[in-house]
Structure 1
Amino acid sequence: MILVPYHLDEPLYGLEADLPGPPGRVVNAELPDGDIWTRLAALYDRAADAVAEEVAAGGTPVVVSGDCTVSLATVTGLQRAGVAPGVVWFDAHGDVQTLETTTSGYIGGMPLRILVGYRPELIADRLGLRAVPEERAMLADARDLDPAEAEYLAGARLRRYSVEDVPAPDGPFLVHVDLDVVDPSDIPGLLFPVDGGPTGSAVVAAVARLVATGRVVALDVACTWRPDGGDARRRSLVTALTNCL
């Protein structure tokens, strides 16, 4: 397990309390002055190296962080190790916003769009991240879409599926799980809860089905809550997901 204890460029203290055990590696960085993209690039460059080293050693990295943007580092690291992954993205949200369409300005609502090629000059070029073809990106759930996201998805080759029916893309792929995909009645303390989601056990079953293909090359787990000393239900869910590998 590789822990990146940040929410965007903000350190998170105490996230370890929701993990099944001590991480094998913790990624921290002295972040430079500059805009958010400069700071994230510095952090994700180090995280990508950690992922690449784990793959080179024959491992399947599990990357845990406080938000979804760490997926940029995970995919970069896989590519540095010679793997060209597709993506299966579990999330209550679409994460396909852009700077031009967002109403909140929240960077954490953009990573899937960046992964499939949006404005590489922001961060992808700095990391050496190559775009994932849209047809190799699968979005599971995304029950809370902004109008601009729904409009994009209506014309994109990136497709949206239910958690139970999401297919595996061709070739090797990353499974990314934002734990707010789970209904908030099943998991406490979410930053952006959305009612009407699947149970935690349904999400774990879907991930296990994908892992059974033998083509999952990494797992991202986004713990999108503020650390508060740990919670048994959250810890149990993170443990079940990591045990899928």
Structure 2
Amino acid sequence: MIVDAPLDSSGAGRGEERAPAALRRAGLHDALSADDGGQIDEARLRDPIRDPASGVIGAAGLVRAGGAIAARVGAILADGRRPLVLGGDCAILPGICRALPPKTELWFVDAHPDFLDGATSPTGEAADMDLSVVSGHGPAAISSGRALIEPSRVHLLGHRPASDESSRVEAARIDPAIQQVNAAEVLRRGAATVGAGLATDSDGPAWLHLDLDVVDPRDLPAVTYPEPDGLRWADLIALVTPLARADRLLGMSVTDLNTDEDPDGRHTRRVVEVLTGMLGG
């Protein structure tokens, strides 16, 4: 069941907010023969002001959006369905994780660790800090103060090594219990080997989060914060397909397609093709 969560944590209504609708127009629902779970209208942010106390843009709106996302995802899971949540940006993840059962693993595929907080983020966007929130290290203004996913059950995959002062600060904040396989290591070990190993290393429930900026900008430039030296499409498909098809997968989220950077829609259509192939549509 596909659910649209058009949250752009900049509060400025960037192209990520329009990504779910663009994927719909490009035929994703029909290609997957998926049921339509509708749009979470509360998952929008219209407050671009960075709160001076917490350092987070639109903190109150983010809390409301997270509650609405949690309620919708929880209802779908309770009905025995498998949600595919289309963002928006990575700020949708804490709301999703609030709906997941205890002992869930998180497969977090992203160019960035998303482990900043309100003080260290250069933007104040919650998409800079979603994994820190999920693992219990986020700003109090948007965090419950506890880990939504146990850090030892988080697998951070495909991120780029620290290359400047901001990314070095971020890397130093990452909980050491989180298991990391960066982009270079994924390629060295073989993307298919890494994905297949994770899919079968446990029989507990898992959630798959895919930030499309993990793809090298040579293949997908239509993201907000592109990073070089990433996975090519073939690598991403090899890594994610066994995860997306794992029997223990509860659901999947997809974020950071920026339609502002895709005026002719060709990158959106490519994302539909890739997701359809991964999910077996």
- State the TM-score, normalized to the length of structure 2: 0.75
The letter for the 1-side match of 2:21 is E
Aligned to 1:38: 60
Alignment of 1:214-233 (within 5 A): 214-227=247-260, 231-233=265-267
Give yes or no for contact 2:19–2:257 (8 Å, CA) kept in 1: no
Aligned to 1:235: 269
Give the counterpart of 2:107 among 73, 83, 88: 88
| Helix, strand or coil at the partner of 1:88 | strand
Structure 1 residues 31 and 112, CA gap change in structure 2 (3 angstroms): closer
Alignment of 1:43-54 (within 5 A): 43-54=65-76
Aligned to 2:5: 4
Distance in 1 (CA, whole Å) between partners of 2:224 and 2:159 is 16
The alpha carbon displacement at 1:215 in A equals: 1.3
The letter for the 1-side match of 2:94 is L
The letter for the 2-side match of 1:73 is G
The alpha carbon displacement at 1:32 in A equals: 9.2
User: Between Structure 1 and Structure 2, which shows a larger proportion of helix residues?
Assistant: 2
Aligned to 1:196: 229
Structure 1 residues 15 and 31, CA gap change in structure 2 (3 angstroms): closer
Distance in 2 (CA, whole Å) between partners of 1:21 and 1:160 is 31
The alpha carbon displacement at 1:175 in A equals: 0.6
Work out which structure has the larger RCO, using CA pairs closer than 8 Å and 6 or more positions apart in sequence: 1
Distance in 2 (CA, whole Å) between partners of 1:85 and 1:231 is 35
Give the counterpart of 1:205 among 227, 232, 238: 238
Aligned to 1:141: 158
Give yes or no for contact 1:85–1:174 (8 Å, CA) kept in 2: yes
| Helix, strand or coil at the partner of 1:47 | helix
Give yes or no for contact 2:106–2:154 (8 Å, CA) kept in 1: yes
Q: Deviations over 1:84-122 (max 9, x none)?
A: 422111111111112233334332110011100014732
Give the counterpart of 2:86 among 50, 58, 64: 64
Q: CA RMSD in A?
A: 2.7
Structure 1 residues 16 and 157, CA gap change in structure 2 (3 angstroms): same
Aligned to 1:100: 119
Q: Deviations over 1:167-204 (max 9, x none)?
A: 35742111101000001111132211111111123212
Q: Deviations over 1:21-71 (max 9, x none)?
A: 455310112879896221011112111111111111111100011210101
Aligned to 2:55: none
Distance in 1 (CA, whole Å) between partners of 2:251 and 2:28 is 18
The letter for the 1-side match of 2:6 is P
Identify which range, 214-223 or 7-16, moves more after superposition. Answer: 7-16
| Helix, strand or coil at the partner of 2:144 | helix
Question: Structure 2 regions of 5+ residues with no counterpart?
Answer: 30-35, 52-57
User: Between Structure 1 and Structure 2, which shows a larger proportion of strand residues?
Assistant: 1
Give yes or no for contact 1:200–1:237 (8 Å, CA) kept in 2: no
Structure 1 residues 226 and 237, CA gap change in structure 2 (3 angstroms): closer
Percent of pairs with identical residues: 25
| Helix, strand or coil at the partner of 1:44 | helix
Structure 1 residues 149 and 25, CA gap change in structure 2 (3 angstroms): same
Distance in 1 (CA, whole Å) between partners of 2:224 and 2:46 is 27
Give yes or no for contact 2:22–2:268 (8 Å, CA) kept in 1: no
The alpha carbon displacement at 1:236 in A equals: 2.5
The letter for the 1-side match of 2:85 is V
